[in-house]
Structure 1
Amino acid sequence: MASVRSDQDGNQKRIPIALKILVAGGFGAGKTTMVSSVSEIKPLQTEERLTGANHTDSTEGVEAKTTTTVTMDFGRITISEDLQLYLFGTPGQDRFWFLWDELAHGALGAVVLADTRRLADCFPSIDYFEQRGTPFIVAVNCFDDRRFGIDAISRALDLSPEVPIVEFDARMALAARDVLIELVEYVARRQMATA
């Protein structure tokens, strides 16, 4: 429930609950795109250009990708007058994983983006959240017509049956918002089940 605060004139203003959400996944899965499409504020992005000299990141399957996140993406969305979500998009490359513990501190949960062109790239994110007991859902970013059924994706990722998997397009603000709502509802269901 949102708290209420009075200003100097005695007018009361509701202060929404603020929740921290991580947006994770492999290189090129659409993390920056999702945060940018859904954020109601100008998102903070730490994108740098990929260079020909950089052979660290494989662009197989995402050949058109020209930039990469080197620290994080940040955005905010108001779900209701009582609820705001602060989004932290994680870097997708292994060499930036030292940042993940700081970004994950205090997070309610995470959205793991899966790109079916490079499905194995989301395994490290799933492992990270499973090892830490952080609730997460998998959001399959449908960039193109290469789609697989939800059951096939769940089996391929070896997910527990209760982990939600949703399909969406990271470029669409309403679809991205619905993914975030699914995560918040999933965390609430988990908390009620353990109460």
Structure 2
Amino acid sequence: MRDCKIVFTGTPGAGKTTAIGAISDTPPVVTDVPNRDPSLAKERTTVGMDYGEVVIADLVRVRLFGTPGQVRFDFLWPILAHKAMGLVILVDNSRPDPLADLRLYLDAFAEQLEHTACVIGIGRTESHATPSLQFFVDELVRRGRVFPVLPVDVRERDQVLMLLDCVLAQVEARNRAGLGLPGLRRTRRGG
């Protein structure tokens, strides 16, 4: 079986914990605590990381890591992203400035994005249609980045798996083209 690491990141409430829980084949490990930040409209918040695993087609075990969203924990972001093959940036379209949120995470992960596959998942588009997906694409173009931008309901397993498929397709395409993106690692049977 081959093995890879994918990191989910984004603002508090963007759905990192929920996304990992929606697709993990094992009960996810979460480090949620009661929220004491009045600026966050949620009861619990991640302060360390989330972790889960999903096996795709009995061929690839994807280790799923979720970052805490609060900027005060940004020192954990590069630690969790170390040796990741892919990054899923989740954006909550109901927040006051979702494009600024995207910019924050593009800047924070700029070094990793030079050699890591990425997909942008935009949540809550059904209730908050603006900005449209095109605005996110335009922001990426302004920064010289080309990544898939997809609407996503992080509660829906199939939609979160689509985000993973996009990341894994980029990894495979870059490997076939010899562009230096790290390939999937083989793991020992049973471990």
- Is the CA contact (8 Å cut-off) linking 1:77 and 1:84 kept in structure 2? yes
Greater Cα offset, 141-150 or 86-95:
141-150
One-letter code of the match for 1:180?
A: L
One-letter code of the match for 2:105?
A: S
CA gap 1:179/1:103 in 2 versus in 1, 3 angstroms: same
SS of the residue corresponding to residue 19 of structure 2 reads helix
What is the match of residue 69 of structure 1? 46
What is the match of residue 96 of structure 1? 73
Q: Deviations over 1:42-76 (max 9, x none)?
A: 0000001112xx35xx23xxx3x111100000011
Which one of 149, 152, 166 corresponds to residue 168 of structure 1?
152
CA gap 1:17/1:169 in 2 versus in 1, 3 angstroms: same
Unaligned runs of 5+ in 2: 180-191
Q: Distance in 2 between matches of 1:143 and 1:116?
A: 6
CA gap 1:163/1:69 in 2 versus in 1, 3 angstroms: same
Deviation at residue 161 of structure 1 after TM alignment: 5.6
Q: Distance in 1 between matches of 2:6 and 2:145?
A: 22
What is the match of residue 23 of structure 1? 8
Deviation at residue 99 of structure 1 after TM alignment: 1.3
Q: Distance in 2 between matches of 1:184 and 1:84?
A: 12
1:86 aligns with 2:70: no
Identity across matched positions, percent: 32
What is the match of residue 27 of structure 2? 42
One-letter code of the match for 2:117?
A: P
1:154 aligns with 2:134: no
Identify, as 1 or 2, the structure richer in strand: 1
Unaligned runs of 5+ in 1: 1-15
SS of the residue corresponding to residue 166 of structure 1 reads strand
- 1:108-187 pair list within 5 angstroms: 108-118=85-95, 119=98, 120-132=100-112, 133=114, 134-142=116-124, 144-148=126-130, 149-156=132-139, 158=142, 160=144, 162-187=146-171
1:106 aligns with 2:70: no
One-letter code of the match for 2:108?
A: Y
Q: How many residues align?
A: 172
Q: Distance in 2 between matches of 1:83 and 1:45?
A: 23
One-letter code of the match for 1:154?
A: V
Q: Distance in 2 between matches of 1:160 and 1:135?
A: 14
Q: Distance in 1 between matches of 2:5 and 2:136?
A: 26
Greater Cα offset, 132-141 or 91-100:
132-141
Quote the RMSD (CA, aligned, Å): 1.8
One-letter code of the match for 2:103?
A: F
Deviation at residue 29 of structure 1 after TM alignment: 0.6
What is the match of residue 10 of structure 1? none
SS of the residue corresponding to residue 30 of structure 2 reads strand
